[in-house]
Amino acid sequence: MRLKTLSITLALLYGLVLTGCTSSLRNTQLERVAKDWALVVRASQVIPIYPLSEDLQPGDILLVSTPVEEQVELYKKKGFLPLDQHLARLHPDAYMDFYRNRCLVDENSIPPGLWQQSGQDSLHRWEHAPLAAFPSYQFHVKSGSGLNLAIPVKGVPFALGLMNTGQAYGSISITDAYTFGIDNYRLYEQVQAWSRKHRDLLSYYAPAEGRQQFLRVISRVYLTGGVNIMVHNDDIKGGNLAAGDTASTDKPPVDLIGAEPVAQDSSIIGKYSGKIKAINDLAKSSTPGGNLQVVMATNRRVSLDETFARPLVIGYVGFDMPVLEGGRLGAPISTLAQLSGTKIPPPLSRPDDISLPAVLASAAHMYNALAVQATTSTEAQSVKDDLDRLSMLVPPNSPVYSQGKTFDSVLSHIDYLKMDAHNNPQHQYELEEIYKNLNTAENRRLLRKAIDCVFFGG
């Protein structure tokens, strides 16, 4: 009895180990599928997405929380990046000007909706969109290695099963490819306008503990309506692949004729057409949900077309913008360059990031404008009050102390000290002290906030 119990226990443990190994192998193969497919798209300088999706378009804003260094490593390892948190979707308002009434784009019809609508004789009107083209993808499958083909299509395992081969080579061409987008300048302006209205939200993603977060803005997408698959039998003796599986089979599920039909022989053409129809019937039953159409089939070669109901997005290009303190956005950086590990020169300083003396040079005009805005804006009034508290930097012995506790008195005191600072060591020292106090992180944030209030309405 003990021996029987031990045998059952060992059998169960073996089953669990085998199941774990099979699951691990399957996960590895699926990751390989995703990576190699992504490499095909990346070769065309496009950032791939996986799985393919129809619901991605220019103006989509993704929140990227992974540090750039980790993104680059992950991008190289997996070949693609998962779509991050979808923070917002902007609808670019310059499509008509960008396309100038081409591709059916007008005031009342904007991408991608105008092409997704069903046409008179089709499910969509993508044929009016700008065209794109991608290189063919070459592959090779050997007997005993399993089907690790790196493409998200069903046609290849089906073709291998038809030819009953475990060794084959072939190519896949991305067909019916389209693209559309908008220029970065106008999209950048729209993103900045959106960010100013959502500073409170973006401030949660400001740098913390040395981690920098980005907004990834998609400016152009690439789509495909299907793929063309050509598979060549490289093992004349046949193999062990069945349609969609690696289980063994004695012969193809449908007998194939040995050569293409001779054009002059109508009887062979009729037989060939019948075989093709039988194969396509098999394709419908073997690949549920797929649209496989066998174009040509022999014992040596099989050619298929796999189409999607509507074109799907396979990749995009765009730009990243770092989220800074207070929810402000930094200069745009090419997403592709960043993910490729390309060294990017630091951007030129923005108006709110220039040196303190440069800010103070126009601070009087800024303060006067802020005072006017404060009469109608509580935000401007709050910023003005914070600036006025800096009047504590003006000593009682200053000739401008009597002006009152306003930020204007600080600016006047700085002007007074600058008049003879080069000849008066005491005034030079006091001037440096004031600059040091104004140059703290807190006061620089306050000055930036004041500039934003004046130029961007808060």
> When comparing pLDDT for 446 and 2, which is higher?
446
Please say if the pLDDT value at position 316 is more than 50: yes
- Which of the residue ranges 91-100, 130-139, 341-350 would you say has the lowest mean pLDDT? 341-350
What integer pLDDT is reported at residue 356 of this predicted model? 64
Q: Where residue 60 falls among pLDDT bands split at 50, 70, 90?
A: very high
CA distance 401 to 312: 69
> When comparing pLDDT for 62 and 290, which is higher?
62
Q: Tell me the range of 85-89, 330-334, 377-381 where mean pLDDT is highest.
A: 85-89
Please say if the pLDDT value at position 17 is more than 60: no
What integer pLDDT is reported at residue 46 of this predicted model? 87
pLDDT per residue as tens digits for the range 99-156: 987 888 888 888 898 888 776 666 788 988 999 988 887 777 664 444 444 455 566 6
With DSSP H G I counted as helix, E B as strand and the rest as coil, what are the percentages for the chain, rounded to 5? 45, 20, 35
Strand 85-89 and strand 137-141: the pairing is unpaired
Across residues 253-280, what is the average pLDDT? Answer: 56
What integer pLDDT is reported at residue 168 of this predicted model? 77
What is the share, in percent, of the chain residues with pLDDT greater than 70? Answer: 64
Please say if the pLDDT value at position 304 is more than 50: yes
What integer pLDDT is reported at residue 67 of this predicted model? 63
Buried-exposed string 310-333: b where 16+ CB fall within 10 A, e elsewhere = bbbbbbbbbbbbbbbeebbbbbbb
Q: How far is CA 421 from CA 37, 191, 375, 392, 416, in A?
A: 67, 45, 37, 21, 9
CA distance 58 to 130: 14
What integer pLDDT is reported at residue 156 of this predicted model? 65
> When comparing pLDDT for 34 and 44, which is higher?
44
Return the number of other C-beta atoms located less than 10 Å from residue 91's C-beta: 12
What integer pLDDT is reported at residue 97 of this predicted model? 87
> What is the number of helices (H) and of strands (E) in the chain?
15, 9
Across residues 244-261, what is the average pLDDT? Answer: 46
3-class DSSP state for residue 340? coil
Across residues 64-92, what is the average pLDDT? Answer: 75
Q: What is the pTM of this model?
A: 0.62
Q: Where residue 57 falls among pLDDT bands split at 50, 70, 90?
A: very high
Tokens of 370: 């802020």
Q: Tell me the range of 237-241, 387-391, 425-429, 444-448 where mean pLDDT is highest.
A: 387-391
**8 Å CB contact between 333 and 216:** no
Return the number of other C-beta atoms located less than 10 Å from residue 289's C-beta: 5
Residue type, position 268, single letter: I
Q: Where residue 455 falls among pLDDT bands split at 50, 70, 90?
A: low
Please say if the pLDDT value at position 158 is more than 70: no
- Which of the residue ranges 96-110, 184-198, 334-348, 384-398 would you say has the lowest mean pLDDT? 334-348
Given phi > 0 = left and psi -120 to 50 = alpha, else beta, which region is 210?
Answer: left
Tokens of 322: 């770092």
Cβ-proximal residues to 433 (8 Å cutoff; 6+ apart), any chain: none
Q: Tell me the range of 22-31, 105-114, 286-295, 308-317 where mean pLDDT is highest.
A: 308-317
What integer pLDDT is reported at residue 245 of this predicted model? 43
Please say if the pLDDT value at position 384 is more than 70: yes
DSSP symbol at 117: S
DSSP symbol at 177: E
Instruction: Name the burial class of residue 392, with classes exposed (0-12), middle (13-18) and buried (19+) by CB atoms within 10 angstroms of its CB.
Output: exposed
> Tokens 């497919």 belong to which residue?
37
Report which of 338, 308, 333, 315 is spatially closest to residue 323, judged by C-alpha positions: 333
Please say if the pLDDT value at position 11 is more than 60: no
**8 Å CB contact between 199 and 192:** no
CA distance 233 to 167: 7
Radius of gyration of the chain, Cα coordinates, nearest whole angstrom: 33
> When comparing pLDDT for 451 and 309, which is higher?
309
Cβ-proximal residues to 73 (8 Å cutoff; 6+ apart), any chain: none
